[in-house]
Structure 1
Amino acid sequence: MCLSAGILLSTSAFAQSGAPNTQVKYNDQQVLHDIADAISASNIEQDISTLVSFGTRHTLSETESETRGIGAARRWIKAEFDKISADCGGCLEVFYQSEVISGERRIPDPVEVVSVIAIQKGTSDPNRYVLMSGDIDSRVSDVMNFTDDSPGANDNASGVAGTLEAARVLSKYKFNGSIVYAALAGEEQGLFGGRILADYAKANNWQLKAVLNNDMIGNIEGVNGVIDNTSARIFAEGTRHIETDDEARRRRFTGGEVDSPSRNLARYIDMMADRYIDNLDTMVVYRLDRFGRGGHHRPFNDLGYPGVRIMETNENYNRQHQDLRTEGGIVYGDTIDGVDFDYAAKLTALNAVSLASMAWAPKPPTKVEISGAVQPSTTLKWSELDPEENPQLKGYKIYWRYTDAPQWQFSRYVGKVSEFTLENIVIDNYFFGVASVSNDGFESPVVYPGAAGAFGE
């Protein structure tokens, strides 16, 4: 009798999960393998070496010299983006973006903070953007010391070099959505470059669906003694900073704390690592950034945009924000010999395939809603995407997972509809979401129902 009851329970659980026919399946995209393979560690090494050669890239440093300081560095970065654009027939819009900052703790006197931006416009949905960034500036122990050498090889010439290399590779393709490559300034002095670009995106009504901030992607030897070139971290905040009181009250009863758009963006990138990047496992960290610290994705998160930080797993604090010196037998300083270029290329490839996949996919679904309380089934609804902006749209795919599962476990393609009921899948037992799917099988990130998970309209 007990055995029979056990069999009945197991069968019921099996049916509830939807297994095996609803286990998550993805279409393998050969072009994404090609993009990953095209990323060059040699190019990244050369670019980091050039950035280091400017001596210091401190935000307050020299701007007139052609060989030293932040001015020379940003002019070189712009020239590289211009060269990439020339090679693709002018496919990039390259420009400086600046604002004079003053009266700040780390910028007391007026300083022009200048970032370099390159935009590859989409063919059918040019106002939908995904963005990759790295930080131009560097620093030593004293954050106000703008004269001493500050190589900033890993922090963060690696992120800028990765952004340049992603642009070189992706500019050879055309995408439905737009891709932004950003070399942001003023990070060490207060995240100013990110704030300026985020404000620009909002003022120009960008539909910014993803910000991939790359800050230190080249170190494999941690201060803890661990040497690891097979893992990386993706930091992603939970509940949106801009959530209203009404939205918080609803979330209390419906969930969404771990399904913000930033978290589902991180899950998307984690999935791309598993499928397209050899020998790389990504750790999704449920936190805005490292404990008590910050990065250039934060200004975008502050305005409600989905954004994550991609970086190495094991940091070496002897090489971060340090004067160049040897002390107590320990060598301090962020020099180029501390960068593993193959590893930086691996993380750059992860960015490139994620950007490409999202830019080729249709826009993430909007106005996703869910119902099913005190019912045996769950119904999801969403708005139909604009066919002119999304001519590649094939249909939609519903995802679900157990509430304590980190990644989506089950899915069902439901076609080009705007409502679907999952029969005998009880709403109480799972988290749900919807992705859009292209004719070629590219998918958007999964969108959790309600304001908690919305990627914006």
Structure 2
Amino acid sequence: MGSHDTAGDRPTRSTRRTFLSASAAATAATVAVPLLAEPAAAHDGPPAGPGRPVRPQSPDRDLRDLLRQVDQRRIEAIVRRLAAFGTRHTLSSQDDPDRGIGAARDWIYDRMSEYAAASGGRMTVELQSYVQQPASRIPVPTTITNVVATLRGETSPNRTYVITGHYDSRASDVMDAVSDAPGADDDASGVAVVMELARLMATRRTAATIVFAAVAGEEQGLYGSAYLAGQLKAAGADVQGMFSNDIVGSSTADDGTRDPHTVRLFAEGVPTAETPAEAATRQSVGGENDSPSRQLARFVVDTAENSATGMRVRVIYRRDRYLRGSDHISFLREGWPAGRFTEPNEDFAHQHQDVRSVDGRQFGDLPEFCDFAYVTRVARVNGAALWSLARAPGTPKGAVIVTSNLTNDTTLRWQRGDEPDLAGYEVLWRETTAAEWQRVIPVGDVTEVTIDLSKDNVFFGVRAVGRDAHRSPVAFPRPGS
């Protein structure tokens, strides 16, 4: 996914000159840009029309350097240490120094604090706690604590990206807080991804803020991530993307099938946070496949599916798997784009099983079932996406496609971002049957553009471009006037 087939061998259309008119809101200036239609593409190739084919964003030198430094040995050490706490059940001991969720919490906090010490004050670490009153899977008042490391952005600090793994674990019985529940794959693997990226990014400068969080209470009902999302909402953070890493420890299924170079990314469609009227309007004009979460997923493919990560990102157009749900859902409920990374195949024979030996084979979510080279590659996928997001301008806001007049062209408007390194914008478009953006038109530092292409026939989007050529996720325009 994310690659584009070459054009086919259809006869070439007669060439005609088209024009793109762009007007900046501040000056109402109009710029005519000549665009030549290209030969028609095959049925499954890029279409003919204005602009050039969309190409993936290649990792720059800084990103390649960051990804080379993702350390498999450190990732393995984190997973093994977390599993060694015996159980990290949310209802387990919070004051035993050697066993239980409290011991794991303190160990994660100490490591994150060490990373922050090397940041020159840019990264801070906190224990974010609250008391959860009795609720589903919480029989008594229970303290839920997230370990949160925040790397403050230098030029757009309110724009925020979040990455989580949940450090709580469970046995077969979700209410069993006593039995061993090492939770190596689910989800020490995700916590290891978060911690390793926090370590590497602590010494680097970003434009936007990144929150690295090990959250608790996931197995009992997403309690920790819901609290984290609520705190960010109350603080007025502009969360433009969130990734949950949940079960990213192995590529081997229970039948032995392996796919060591693929990670799944679940991305929901029309946001559930929309009102019924908003959802009906979106569906009436298209965009069922253009939610902010799916634009975020396309961005991940665009920036992280390359030789520097060694991975294929398989985007799944669903909120999550059947009967399952992860911490990204807490952010979707706040109306923010979010997705879940998880391994391509799962070994249900050992997930959440009590630790025991059968014919010499160990069952239980143990480190021995993890492929640490695979976890390392998943960390690189996350790192490539986060770094690219935090270095690029933000996703354009207020994008509108003008639908108040019957015309055979298309006018788009959006708000100009306030990033100091903003260079301009690009309009993207694709056939309505295509899953990925197919062509891109540079339009400059403007906030309105008219394109000689019918809005009735294709889908449009807008993205921002920085001076260093980093590009934002695409904003899908809503109909307006």
TM (norm. structure 2) is 0.88
- Which residue of the partner structure matches residue 455 of structure 1? none
Deviates more, 1:147-156 or 1:221-230: 221-230
CA distance in 2, matches of 1:308, 1:259: 14
Residues 21 and 434 (structure 1 numbering): CA distance in 2 closer, same or farther, change over 3 Å?
Answer: closer
Residue 463 of structure 2 is aligned to residue 431 of structure 1: no
Per the alignment, residue 271 of structure 1 pairs with 302
**Other-structure match for 2:53:** 23
1:287 partnered with 2:315: no
Following TM superposition, by how much is the alpha carbon of 1:252 offset from its aligned partner in structure 2, in angstroms?
A: 2.6
1:10–1:75: structure 2 CA closer, same or farther, 3 Å change rule?
A: farther
Question: 2:246 aligned to 209, 215, 221, which one?
Answer: 215
Aligned partner of 1:230: which letter? H
2:431 is aligned, of 377, 402, 419, to 402
Deviation at 1:130, TM superposition (A): 0.3
Report what 2:206 is aligned to: 175
Residue 77 of structure 1 pairs with residue 105 of structure 2? no
Structure 1 letter corresponding to 2:386: L
Q: 1:169 offset after TM fit, Å?
A: 1.1
Report the Cα offset of residue 217 of structure 1.
Answer: 1.0
| Equivalent runs, 1:8-407 vs 2, <5 Å | 14=39, 17-18=47-48, 21-26=51-56, 28=58, 29-275=60-306, 277-327=308-358, 331-371=362-402, 374-386=406-418, 390-407=419-436
Hey, what's the Cα distance between the residues in 1 that align with 2:289 and 2:281?
A: 15
Q: State the SS of the aligned residue for 1:359.
A: helix
- What value does the CA root-mean-square deviation take over the aligned residues? 2.1
Task: Could you list the structure 1 runs, at least 4 aligned residues long, displaced by more than 6 angstroms after superposition.
Answer: 8-13
Q: What is the Cα deviation at residue 7 of structure 1?
A: 4.4
The CA deviation string for residues 333-391 of structure 1, in whole angstroms up to 9 with x for no partner, is 100011111110111111111111111111110100113674332221101112xxx10
2 CA distance for matches of 1:276 and 1:197? 34
Q: Which whole-Å CA distance do the structure 2 matches of 1:120 and 1:233 have between them?
A: 26
| 3-state DSSP of counterpart to 1:428 | coil
| 1:3 paired residue number | none
Contact 2:408 2:454 in 1 (8 A): yes
Aligned residue type for 1:407: E
Match for 2:470: what amino acid? Answer: F
**Residue 474 of structure 2 corresponds to which residue in structure 1?**
446
Distance 1:138 1:451 in 2: 45
Q: Which amino acid in 1 is paired with 2:465? A: V
- How far apart are 1:256 and its partner, in Å? 1.7
Change (3 A) 1:191 1:327: same
Shift of 1:275: 3.2
Q: Cα deviation per residue 1:130-170 (whole Å; 9 max; x = unaligned)?
A: 01100010011011111111110010000011100001111
Kept in 2, the 8 Å contact 1:318–1:331? The answer is: no
In the alignment, the residues of structure 2 paired with residue 8 and residue 221 of structure 1 have an alpha-carbon distance, to the nearest angstrom, of 47
For 2:62 and 2:52, the matched residues in 1 are separated by 26
User: Cα deviation per residue 1:250-277 (whole Å; 9 max; x = unaligned)?
Assistant: 1132112111101110111112222354
Query: Contact 1:277/1:346 (CA < 8 Å) preserved in 2?
Result: no
Pairwise CA distance, 1:319: 2.1
Moved more, 38-47 or 323-332: 323-332
Q: 3-state DSSP class of the match of 2:92?
A: coil
Equivalents in 1 of 2:271, 2:67: separation in Å? Answer: 32
2:447 to 405, 418, 425: 418
CA contact (8 A) 1:137 1:188 kept: yes
Quote the sequence identity (%). 39
| CA 1:21–1:255: 2 relative to 1, 3 Å | closer
Rounded Cα–Cα distance in structure 2 between residues aligned with 1:278 and 1:351: 9
Q: Indicate if the aligned counterparts of 2:402 and 2:412 stay in contact, CA closer than 8 A.
A: yes
Partners of 1:112 and 1:213 in 2: CA distance: 22
Contact 1:273 1:350 in 2 (8 A): yes
* 1:78 aligned partner, one-letter code: Y
Cα distance, 1:350–1:27 mapped onto 2, change above 3 Å? closer
The Cα of 1:331 is off from its aligned counterpart by 4.2
Cα distance in structure 1, aligned partners of 2:479 and 2:363: 46
**Which stretch of the first structure deviates more once superposed, 414-423 or 152-161?**
414-423
Cα deviation, 1:29-62, whole Å, max 9, x if unaligned, reads 2222222111111110011111111111000111
Aligned partners of 1:123 and 1:174 also within 8 Å? yes
Contact kept? 1:32, 1:276, Cα under 8 Å:
no
In structure 2, distance between residues paired with 1:7 and 1:344? 47
Aligned residues: 443
Unmatched 5+ stretches in structure 2: 1-9, 16-36, 42-46
| Conserved? CA contact 1:233–1:313, under 8 Å | yes
- Secondary structure (helix, strand or coil) at the match of 2:130 reads strand
Q: Do the aligned partners of residues 33 and 376 (structure 1) sit closer, same or farther apart at CA in structure 2, a change above 3 Å counting?
A: same
Distance 1:330 1:337, change over 3 A: closer
| 3-state SS, counterpart of residue 449 of structure 2 | strand
Contact 1:213–1:309 (CA under 8 A) maintained in structure 2:
yes
Which residue of structure 1 aligns with residue 4 of structure 2?
Answer: none
Query: Tell me, which stretches of 5 or more residues in structure 1 are unaligned?
Result: 1-5, 453-457
- Structure 2: distance between partners of 1:192 and 1:451: 36
How far apart, CA to CA, are the structure 2 residues paired with 1:451 and 1:139? Answer: 46
Give the counterpart letter for 2:390 in structure 1. Answer: A
Report the Cα distance in structure 2 between the residues aligned to 1:321 and 1:153, rounded to whole angstroms: 10
Q: SS at 1:352's partner residue?
A: helix
Check conservation: 2:309, 2:380, Cα contact below 8 A. Answer: no
For the structure 1 residues 433 and 114, does the alpha-carbon distance in structure 2 shift closer, same or farther, using more than 3 Å as the test? Answer: same
The letter of the residue matching 1:67 is: D
The one-character-per-residue Cα deviations of 1:16-37 (angstroms, maximum 9, x if unpaired) are 9346951113553222222211
